[in-house]
Amino acid sequence: MSHQIDPTLLPFFDPKGIAVIGASTAPAKLGFGVARNLAQSGYTGAIHFVNPRGGRLLGRPVYPDIAAVPDPVDLAMVIVPAPMVPDTLAGIGRRGIRAAVIASGGFRETGPEGAALEAECLRVAREHAIRLIGPNCVGLIDTHLPLDTTFLPPPGPTPGDIAFISHSGAICAAVIDWARGQGFGLSHLISLGNQIDVRETDTLAAVAADPHTRVITLYLEGISDGRRFVRAAREVTRDKPIIALKVGRYSGGRRAVASHTGALAGQESAYNAAFHRAGVIRANTSEELFDWARALAWCPLPAGPDVAVLTNAGGPGVTAADALEGHGLRLAELLPETQTALRAILPPDASVRNPVDMLAAATAGQYAQSLGILLDDPGVHSVMVVLPPPPMESAGGVARALIPIIFAAGKPVVVALMGERMIQEAVEYFRAARVPEYRFPERAASALAVLTERARKVSDAAGELPLRLPDTRPDEARRALDDWRAAGGAPGEFLPFEVVGDMLAAYDIPVPRALPAATAAEAVDLAWQVGFPVALKVASPDIVHKTEVGGVLLNLTGPDEVAAGFATVTANARAAAPAARLDGVHVQRMVTSGQEVIIGAVQDPQFGAVVMFGSGGVEVEGLRDVEFALAPLTRGDATGLLERTWAGRRLAGFRNLPPADRAAVLDMIRRLGQLAADFPELAEIELNPVRVLPDGEGAFAVDVRARLAPDWPPGGRGLSE
């Protein structure tokens, strides 16, 4: 698979020559660290040091000025004090270099003055068409090229197959050190710092294109351009897995929202929906990030969720079984012939049912033979070997016997080594052989679950892309909105019911007819027209939660009730909200039966339109039975929303509830998603409740609310896909 790399970024990934500007002879200075690491990294291109003091460093001349540096040179490492960086960049530009990494700190992270300096750097870089990584970053490592432009104290990472791209420099230092200790290598390490130019999204394709990289891990504190990230990551994940640890979950302030969807659609929901769309696996902790990366880098993908557990004691087997089921995997049912084969080589008291317990005296040979037998069972999709300190054998001997079997297997095998010093030799063998090993069955189970998730994502990714639905008429919806604006409607306001109704109609989203009545007599006439029973809802641009002011009467079955009802709801509304403008009522045909769901959409500042689906009614926020997806949605996206919520699963029928019209709901979800994607100025739109009638009878949005963004149009920013 080929990945499209922006050619202006190539000097970062395959530089012909590098100039270290600020290279220093003082060992305590970062400028010495960069020079030392680059010189020791084995980089085979040209290395040039620059410092006004001149002299020699590490056996090389130090040029007083970048202008003096000879060819080839196409990448500059800048490690000079922050105030000198703009001039340094100008010199780099004049020298004809078009890529620079600014390792120096002292910019935006220090306050307004630093931010101004940073802006000046960007201005100079743009003037000279220089691409920038940083400032305030650790730099770049490519262990295979090889190349190390960081100032971190050695040793650097060992060569490996996991790429790490990070918004935090401190995390880079920790990960390099931790990876060495945990016995896995890295292919690339990219520290992005303040990201004034090159961002996480820009680097994905180049890293993915490296054949040494088998998995990409990301440490993210946010994403700069959500939709572009989703597109780029989606391309990469068709080929190679991406795992992201996204932090800053809880730091987001509260936004002013008026709908349930708005209240529940925190930024994390949008990130989850975006990662889902992009095929990115989200890790919850730093340890998961690399536990999972090792499994994805080193194991084939399983064909299904059925796992065999091989161990030499009861307790570890039970622990493993629990952990597997807790992660949504299953204990494989072993075939009778598998059990017979195990029985033939194991002592009579051994358990040959899954988990397979060979008993404490199990030899290395029995471990290896049993593993082979389990891998031959077609109902076994993966194997977890659990190895407490074996009383009779050395754990290292067991590891040596297992490794050839694992190498030959087309199925994933992970190892849970229980203990520490007595299993250390086995740990070293497994690490050298790139067999994922974990200290306890729980973490091994989590790794197998991720392999299974990745296998599913790969097969899903072969599927459909969002397609425009037929019978969506954005022009017609646009007209309804424009007409209202022309009549004085303003950003930030709630849209009148009729306007939303017209917009929904333009997307063929069924809403029971609701007609405005200014007087009781008009209301009665309209009730005859739409058909009893009807609902009366107070009509006011200022009242959003109508039930809370007593502004809604339901199930009115005759003209007298309607006439009396008109007086009631208007009086209630006037009492509860004396300042609200009252335009009379809306008369609406009641859909009184059916399952209640909610379908809503909001605009996320990073990712654009996000659709929510779940249990409807007034308790949406209490039950939190909701899920999110980026709009527009494929049919698979919409089906996923139904599968992941009780409201969605219930549509198939439950107890005395008959199967409801799932197809109508799926259609409505996608149509609302298309509308939200087409109208980014719709800050929130929510159909709640939607009543879903029995199969074939449709689904109807009983109530609707929609609000325009207060700041629309935003400063020239577009959010279209």
Interface residues for a second copy in 109-138 (CB under 8 A)?
A: 109-111
Task: Tell me which residue has tokens 């306890």.
Answer: 440
The only residue of 162, 321, 398, 527 in contact with a second copy, by rule CB under 8 A:
321
Q: Does 547 bind a second copy (CB under 8 A)?
A: yes
Q: CA geometry: angle at 228 spanning 227 and 230, to 5°?
A: 65
Query: Least Å distance between CB 287 and a second copy?
Result: 6
Q: State the Cα–Cα distance between residues 612 and 156, nearest whole angstrom.
A: 45
65-84: which residues touch a second copy (CB under 8 A)? Answer: none
174-213: which residues touch a second copy (CB under 8 A)? Answer: 174, 177-182
386-425: which residues touch a second copy (CB under 8 A)? Answer: 388-389, 391, 418-423
Query: Least Å distance between CB 33 and a second copy?
Result: 9
Task: Tell me which residue has tokens 């002292």.
Answer: 106
Query: Least Å distance between CB 142 and a second copy?
Result: 21
The only residue of 251, 471, 487, 490 in contact with a second copy, by rule CB under 8 A:
251
CB atoms within 10 A of CB 326: 12
The site string for a second copy over 568-607 (x = CB under 8 A, - otherwise) reads ----------------------------------------
Comparison of 324 and 477: residue with beta carbon closer to a second copy: 324
Stretch that binds a second copy, among 10-18, 162-170, 203-211, 670-678 (CB under 8 A): 162-170
The only residue of 10, 58, 318, 709 in contact with a second copy, by rule CB under 8 A:
318
DSSP string, 371-402: HHHHHH-TT--EEEEEE---SSS-HHHHHHHH
Question: CA 192 → CA 139, 170, 594, distances in Å?
Answer: 7, 11, 52
The site string for a second copy over 259-298 (x = CB under 8 A, - otherwise) reads -------------------------xxxx-----------
Q: Does 333 bind a second copy (CB under 8 A)?
A: no
The site string for a second copy over 609-628 (x = CB under 8 A, - otherwise) reads ------x--xx--xxxx---
Are the beta carbons of 474 and 678 closer than 8 angstroms?
Answer: yes
From the list 668, 675, 633, 628, the residue with the least C-alpha distance to 651 is: 668
Comparison of 528 and 654: residue with beta carbon closer to a second copy: 654
From the list 604, 603, 602, the residue with the least C-alpha distance to 613 is: 602
426-465: which residues touch a second copy (CB under 8 A)? Answer: 439-443
Q: State the Cα–Cα distance between residues 714 and 544, nearest whole angstrom.
A: 25
486-515: which residues touch a second copy (CB under 8 A)? Answer: none
Question: CA 687 → CA 291, 424, 496, 611, 691, distances in Å?
Answer: 42, 59, 14, 11, 10
The count of C-alpha atoms lying within 13 angstroms of the C-alpha of 101, restricted to the half-sphere facing its C-beta, is 28
Q: Does 252 bind a second copy (CB under 8 A)?
A: no
From the list 255, 331, 244, the residue with the least C-alpha distance to 602 is: 255
The only residue of 153, 492, 710, 713 in contact with a second copy, by rule CB under 8 A:
153
Stretch that binds a second copy, among 383-391, 487-495, 678-686, 702-710 (CB under 8 A): 383-391
Q: State the Cα–Cα distance between residues 539 and 551, nearest whole angstrom.
A: 9
657-686: which residues touch a second copy (CB under 8 A)? Answer: 657
Question: CA 569 → CA 539, 551, 575, distances in Å?
Answer: 10, 5, 10
Report the amino acid identity of residue 711. Answer: D
221-250: which residues touch a second copy (CB under 8 A)? Answer: 221, 247-250
348-377: which residues touch a second copy (CB under 8 A)? Answer: 348-349, 360
Q: Does 219 bind a second copy (CB under 8 A)?
A: yes
Question: CA 503 → CA 479, 570, 590, distances in Å?
Answer: 9, 27, 20
DSSP string, 546-566: GGGGT-EEEEE-SHHHHHHHH
Stretch that binds a second copy, among 320-328, 531-539, 585-593, 672-680 (CB under 8 A): 320-328
Are the beta carbons of 51 and 77 closer than 8 angstroms?
Answer: no
Query: Least Å distance between CB 276 and a second copy?
Result: 20
Comparison of 59 and 622: residue with beta carbon closer to a second copy: 622
